[in-house]
Homo-oligomer: A and B are copies of this chain.
Amino acid sequence: MTLLGDIGERELIADFRTFIRPEGRVGPGDDAAITSEGTVASTDIVTFDRHFPAGMTYEQFGWYAAAVSFSDLAAMGARPTGFLAALALPANLEAQAAYDIMSGIDQCAEFCGTGIIGGDTKRGPGIVTGTAIGVMDGRRPMLRTGAVPGDVVAVTGPLGGPAAALEAIDLGIDAEEARSTLYTPIPRVAEGMSLAESGAVSSCMDLSDGLGTALNTLCKSSGVGMDVELDFIPREEYVEDIARMSGKPVKELLLDCGGEYELLFTADRERLGKIYEAEVPFHIIGVVTEGDSPELLENGERSAISNGRY
């Protein structure tokens, strides 16, 4: 008898994918599904157990619960049109905490240009399942499969904040800037729409499982390799500082931690001008190669980029 706990999360998801029918235009295997009628949708479970680091408020937990699904829409270039919030909360939770969670969800949905359109509530141990819904407005969705050798590899903003925040919590350091990237990640919805609109992007996904995992996923999905320059990966100064204090190499903070919500994308270098015109900030971190996996270049040394803790 095999128990669910004996099966890795990845294997389970892979098995469950066999149930996902090809009738949607897109998915499985991308950040969000797209139906034949053009509805873009993504659902995510967040739990008190696993997604509630020390010091987070209920309002931030609500924001986070919504942000993870909106980020999936962002990675496709979709415009959000609604959010459904299903809350399974303990009876001994303060009522104010439940309202704070709803308020956090509401604020994140508003930031993403939409609102809560429906939901459900039941008793439970503290599980929020959010579903973000959107449309493409005629834009071609950005998938994980289109990267070709010669494309540039880029991210929309600085990384390492969530990892630095977790280290700071462990070290008892007050690192407000880092904490805000962990507690109230910004779904890059406007950036995703502009990137899709530009027509220059060949593949895209969000960084919720961390940069290392995302680079591996894009390489596998597109059947390519990548050379990534460690020095090119954008990071705030506090990430370097906290890495030093914790004694961990900065590349671990940049590559191995989930909870990042910038977008990773590849783009045709001949059409990069379209992205500059769209005024989406981005940082080139490497190039797509004819290999079959991502490699890190650090002071001229080359090493494999691991698929992360997932």
B86 touches A118 (CB 8 A): no
Q: Name the distance in Å between A120's Cβ and chain B's nearest Cβ.
A: 5
Residue among B37, B81, B102, B122 making CB contact with A45, cutoff 8 Å: B122
Q: Does A3 contact B (CB under 8 A)?
A: yes
A33 touches B95 (CB 8 A): no
Q: Name the distance in Å between A51's Cβ and chain B's nearest Cβ.
A: 9
Q: Does A7 contact B (CB under 8 A)?
A: yes
Contacts of A246 in B (CB 8 A): none
User: Which of A12, A45, A115 gathers most chain B CB within 10 Å?
Assistant: A45
B118 touches A12 (CB 8 A): no
Q: Which of A9-32 contact B (CB under 8 A)?
A: 9, 12-13, 15-16, 19-21, 23-24, 27-28, 32
**Which of the candidate stretches A123-131, A149-157, A254-262, A278-286 sits at the interface with the other chain?**
A123-131
CA of A225 to CA of B135, assembled, Å: 40
Q: Is the interface of A mostly helix, strand, loop or mixed?
A: mixed
B117 touches A41 (CB 8 A): yes
Question: Please, could you name 15 A-B residue pairs with CB atoms under 8 Å apart, sorted by A?
Answer: A2-B95, A2-B96, A4-B90, A4-B97, A5-B91, A9-B121, A19-B106, A23-B82, A23-B115, A24-B117, A28-B117, A28-B118, A35-B133, A37-B81, A122-B127
Chain B residue nearest to A110 (CB atoms) is B21
Q: Does A57 contact B (CB under 8 A)?
A: no
Q: Mark A33-70, 1 if CB is under 8 A from B, else 0.
A: 10111010111110101100000000000000000000
Q: Count copies of this chain in the complex.
A: 2
CA of A32 to CA of B120, assembled, Å: 11
Residue among B2, B41, B93, B124 making CB contact with A118, cutoff 8 Å: B41
A3 touches B95 (CB 8 A): yes
Q: Does A299 contact B (CB under 8 A)?
A: no
A27 touches B117 (CB 8 A): yes
A contact set with B: CB distance below 8 Å? 1-7, 9, 12-13, 15-16, 19-21, 23-24, 27-28, 32-33, 35-37, 39, 41-45, 47, 49-50, 81-82, 84-99, 102-103, 105-106, 114-125, 127, 129, 131, 133, 135
Q: Name the distance in Å between A298's Cβ and chain B's nearest Cβ.
A: 34
A92 touches B3 (CB 8 A): yes
User: Which of A9, A41, A85, A96 gathers most chain B CB within 10 Å?
Assistant: A41
Residue among B7, B88, B95 making CB contact with A47, cutoff 8 Å: B88
Given A19-B106, A88-B127, A89-B4: A81 in contact with B116 (beta carbons within 8 A)? no
Contacts of A6 in B (CB 8 A): 95
Given contacts A50-B122, A88-B127, A133-B133, 13 further A-B contacts (CB under 8 A): A3-B91, A12-B95, A19-B116, A20-B116, A20-B118, A23-B82, A23-B114, A24-B82, A33-B118, A35-B117, A43-B120, A50-B123, A124-B124
Q: Name the distance in Å between A14's Cβ and chain B's nearest Cβ.
A: 11
Contacts of A95 in B (CB 8 A): 2-4, 6-7, 12
